[in-house]
Amino acid sequence: MGTEERVLPLFPLNTVLFPGASLPLQIFEDRYKQMLQDCLDADLKFGVVLIREGSEVGGPAVPYSTGTLADIVQVNESRGGQFFVSAIGRRRFRIVEFTQQTPYLSAVVELLAEEADTGASTELTQAVQETLSSHVVLTSGLEGGWIREVRSPSEPVTLSYFVAAAMQIDLPRKQALLEEPTVSARLQSELEILQGSAKELRRRVRRELAQRFSRQ
């Protein structure tokens, strides 16, 4: 299969966008207003990339090389000239070369296909679903809530991105999940993260229960 390349406007952000996840944006800088207008005029998508060096506002930012193609779903303009944009992640890409630095960043990117992955077994998928469910139930209980059922996708690719987007982990670890070369590798990494987090949550539950009984 040949590679699929295209020139893409890039939006460097302090966030990692995964395919299928939604992204709210507030656009107020002139360069990104121009990017938004260019996308709307030509019915273009744009790329979201995590910032490796630099900041979102002001000067140039150096992004990671793997990002996610984003579709613009809705745009609303405020009286102050700011734009509130709703976007959704579609496909991963890898930057081949930068083509433009001003007023906003653009690059030739290679769209990454989701290859058939026989390693993403039913057992691995179910293990991730079950561990995610346990994690959510424990977290909700610690916060004083109660959840009867946790629903998650059953299709491996969709599940892998669903879990990655939901995880409360640092940005470099999220970026590493986005860059995983196969679905099975991403699910396995997520399972290990969830299992480690679940152990800590159970310790917290035991401590809280012990404190409650000691006060009685």
Pairing assessment for the beta strands 46-53 and 4-13 based on DSSP bridges? parallel
Q: Which fold has domain 4-111?
A: 2.30.130
pLDDT tens-digit profile, the chain (216 residues) = 457 899 999 999 999 999 999 999 999 999 999 999 999 998 889 999 999 988 766 667 889 999 999 999 999 998 888 999 999 999 999 999 999 777 889 999 999 987 666 666 889 999 999 999 887 777 765 665 566 677 889 999 999 999 999 998 999 999 999 999 999 999 999 999 998 887 776 676 566 655 555 555
Which parts of the chain fold into alpha helices (H)?
Answer: 30-42, 122-142, 156-166, 171-179, 183-215
Give dist(CA 87, CA 103) in Å, integer.
Answer: 21
The pair of structure tokens assigned to 99 is 């083509």
Report the length, in residues, of the chain.
216
* Sequence letter at residue 24: P
Per-residue pLDDT reduced to its tens digit, 181-205: 999 999 999 999 998 887 776 676 5
Give dist(CA 179, CA 185) in Å, integer.
Answer: 10
**What CA–CA distances, in Å, run from 47 to 103, 117, 160, 170?**
15, 25, 20, 21
* Sequence letter at residue 57: V
Dmax (CA) for the chain in angstroms is: 68
Residues 179 and 160: beta-carbon distance below 8 Å? no
pLDDT for the residue numbered 1: 46
Helix/strand/coil for 146? coil
**Identical fold at 4-111 and 122-215?**
no
Between 183-215 and 122-142, two packed helices, what is the crossing angle to 10 degrees? 30
Residues 153 and 159: beta-carbon distance below 8 Å? yes
The pair of structure tokens assigned to 196 is 């480690």
The pair of structure tokens assigned to 76 is 């609303």
The pair of structure tokens assigned to 90 is 């579609």
Domain residue ranges of the chain, discontinuous segments joined by +: 4-111, 122-215
* Sequence letter at residue 209: L
Give dist(CA 112, CA 5) in Å, integer.
Answer: 9
pLDDT for the residue numbered 205: 59
What architecture is the 122-215 domain classified under in CATH?
Answer: Up-down Bundle (1.20)
Say what the pTM is: 0.86
